[in-house]
């Protein structure tokens, strides 16, 4: 692999590709949709930079890895955070041992220069200033400008990009002028039962069948109840339960005991009763609260003058019988 390139007299030291080999299991349609976004059907056509949305731990980054492998391209992952700066995204100056300044290309810029795939992971955790530095890259111009290095960097024709976005409250609002460049939106759902089982078996082929079944059943019930537990949570629960079983051969725990302890340790006490947890979540979201009308501010619910009060048949709002 090339370790550095020169642009406008500035030497850029390149990042290393991500060596991960994630396998995509199930939901084949969304993989085909992502690959279609990256196609070019004419010399004048340009690839799209889609955004992958879904709950944390659902497999968005794994999907991008599988798509990059399908295209036989190197993969670079940049983890976006709330304090990401434009220079972090593009080119960072580093003081070398010789006392000179070296310029290091980020994973994104390295992917641009080498014609690879870049995943901007959890993009909606990043602030607007950093997004603004990527605006020309995400439209027909396909370049970035590094103020730090004083150079303009053009993307290789084979460069592809995808942005993952979590659906939770700890994120920023991405500006509309950026969202209009990150299209289409590909939504990931929780996997079906057989797919989820296959994913767990892929990551933990040594798992006990009984505990594997417990974990699959737990996750499927959680998905049905609209709870936030993901396949990644299930992998961690199952992995820790296996370790607890193996940790003390002289005083072994039962499988049920080890699994329950793992659920509590990984997901909290409430996770052992999914029905109650779902009911409390629904209540906290106002699921059992009747919306207030204007009359509720002036009359009690049983007041006959309340505009929404139920009157006996044949009785008017004024309480008089119809003729």
DSSP 48-105: ---EEEE-TTSSHHHHHHHHHHHTT--EEEEE--TT--HHHHSEEEEE-TTS-EEEEE
Q: How far apart are CA 50 and CA 135, in angstroms?
A: 14
| Per-residue confidence band for 20, with pLDDT thresholds at 50, 70 and 90 | confident
Residue 178: count of CB within 10 angstroms of its CB = 19
319 pLDDT more than 80: no
| Per-residue confidence band for 16, with pLDDT thresholds at 50, 70 and 90 | very high
Fold of 4-187: Rossmann fold (3.40.50)
- pLDDT per position as a tens digit, 38-66: 999 999 999 999 999 998 999 999 999 99
Q: For residue 311, count CB atoms less than 10 angstroms from its CB and return exposed for 0-12, middle for 13-18, buried for 19 or more.
A: exposed
- In degrees and rounded to multiples of 5, residue 153 shows phi and psi of -120, 120
Answer yes or no: are the C-beta atoms of 31 and 67 closer than 8 Å. Answer: yes
Tell me the pTM.
Answer: 0.81
| Per-residue confidence band for 87, with pLDDT thresholds at 50, 70 and 90 | very high
Q: What is the pLDDT of residue 285?
A: 66
Q: What is the pLDDT of residue 295?
A: 52
321 pLDDT more than 50: no
Q: What is the rounded average pLDDT of the residues 85-110? A: 92
316 pLDDT more than 70: no
Percent share of the chain, pLDDT over 90: 72
290 pLDDT more than 50: no
Q: What is the rounded average pLDDT of the residues 134-163? A: 96
Q: What is the pLDDT of residue 283?
A: 79
323 pLDDT more than 50: no
| Per-residue confidence band for 210, with pLDDT thresholds at 50, 70 and 90 | very high
**SS3 for 148-171, per residue?**
CCCEEEECCCCCEEEEEEECCCCC
Residue 187 β-bridge partners = 53
Percent share of the chain, pLDDT over 70: 87
Q: What is the rounded average pLDDT of the residues 25-46? A: 95
- pLDDT per position as a tens digit, 165-187: 987 766 778 999 999 999 999 99
For residue 14, the SS3 value is: coil
Residue 9: count of CB within 10 angstroms of its CB = 7
Lowest mean pLDDT among 115-129, 214-228, 230-244, 297-311: 297-311
Q: What is the rounded average pLDDT of the residues 150-156? A: 96
249 pLDDT more than 90: no
Answer yes or no: are the C-beta atoms of 199 and 176 closer than 8 Å. Answer: no
Which residues in 12-34 are b (16+ Cβ under 10 Å) and which e?
A: bbbbebbeeebebbbbeebbebb
| Per-residue confidence band for 95, with pLDDT thresholds at 50, 70 and 90 | confident
What residue segments make up the domains of the chain, in order of their start?
4-187, 193-284
């Amino acid at each position: 692999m090339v370790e550095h390139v020169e642009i406008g007299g500035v030497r850029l030291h390149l990042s290393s590709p991500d060596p991960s080999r994630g396998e995509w299991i199930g939901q084949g349609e969304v993989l085909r949709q992502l690959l279609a976004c990256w196609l070019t059907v004419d010399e004048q056509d340009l690839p799209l930079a889609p955004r992958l949305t879904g709950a944390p731990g659902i497999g968005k980054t794994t999907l991008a890895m599988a798509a990059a492998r399908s295209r036989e391209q190197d993969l670079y992952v940049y983890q976006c955070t709330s304090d990401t700066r434009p220079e972090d995204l593009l080119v960072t100056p580093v003081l070398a041992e010789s006392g000179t300044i070296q310029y290091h290309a980020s994973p994104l810029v390295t992917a641009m220069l080498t014609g690879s795939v870049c995943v901007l992971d959890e993009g909606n955790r990043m602030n607007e200033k950093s997004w603004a530095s990527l605006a020309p890259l995400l439209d027909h111009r396909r370049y970035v400008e590094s103020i730090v290095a004083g150079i303009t960097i053009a993307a290789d024709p084979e460069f592809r990009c995808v942005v993952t976005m979590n659906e939770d409250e700890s994120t920023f609002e991405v500006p509309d002028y950026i969202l209009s460049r990150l299209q289409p939106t590909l939504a990931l759902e929780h996997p079906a039962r057989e797919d989820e089982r296959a994913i767990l078996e892929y990551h933990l082929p040594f798992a006990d069948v009984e505990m594997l079944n417990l974990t699959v059943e737990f996750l499927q019930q959680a998905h049905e109840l609209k709870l936030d537990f993901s396949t990644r949570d299930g992998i961690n629960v199952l992995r820790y339960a296996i370790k607890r079983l193996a940790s003390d051969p002289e005083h072994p725990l039962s499988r049920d005991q080890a699994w329950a302890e793992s659920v509590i340790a990984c997901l909290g006490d409430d996770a052992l009763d999914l029905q109650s947890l779902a009911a409390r979540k629904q209540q906290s979201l106002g699921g059992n609260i009747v919306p207030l009308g204007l009359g509720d501010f002036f009359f009690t619910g049983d007041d006959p003058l309340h505009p929404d009060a139920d009157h006996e048949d044949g009785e008017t709002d004024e309480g008089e019988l119809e003729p």
